[in-house]
Amino acid sequence: MRGLVALVAIATLAAGLGASVAQTPPPRPGSANLRPIPDAPGKRVAELQGLDKVTARTQRFYAPVGQTTRFGTLEIAVADCLVNVPEAPPEAVAYLTIVDNKPGQAQEKLFAGWMFASTPSLSALDHGVYDVRVLACTMAQGSAPPSSR
């Protein structure tokens, strides 16, 4: 029965990931200090760092909130990105859904949850080839943020 529920959940995720992230925002982490990035020109993005363990290369890239970004075979969807209020210690928190799309194989959901910039090991992506961590939440200037691979 659990396998059937997991299969339905993966199918639902696969159907919804193609265009954008689910419209219902995830529940926020328990800190009252966290808030969305203050309004400014540009687009809200999560600044992420990816590590390809095979080539030992790291790459910083921007993932727009509400959209899906690719890093290698991974599709990373950012549902929300929050920062601490100015009087609190610096912190950035992003709600990520990470799916592996290996060619010729079914999609595999690897991670769904809040990632904290200050404590990346608290909720980390567990993958044999890739590591992904949150660096910051910011506003990207210009017509489009830099793309990943």
| Sign (positive or negative) of CA dihedral 107, 61, 115, 93 | negative
Query: Which has the closest alpha carbon to 37: 97, 105, 84?
Result: 84
CA–CA separation, 31 and 26 (whole Å): 14
User: Is the pLDDT confidence value at 6 over 70?
Assistant: no
This prediction's pTM: 0.72
pLDDT digit string (tens) for 70-100?
A: 999 999 999 999 998 888 788 899 999 999 9
CA–CA separation, 17 and 43 (whole Å): 20
- Centre a 10 Å sphere on the Cβ of residue 113 and count the other Cβ atoms it contains: 14
- Show me where the domains of the chain are located: 2-140
10: confidence class by pLDDT, cuts 50, 70, 90: very low
pLDDT digit string (tens) for 118-143?
A: 888 887 887 889 999 999 999 887 65
36: confidence class by pLDDT, cuts 50, 70, 90: confident
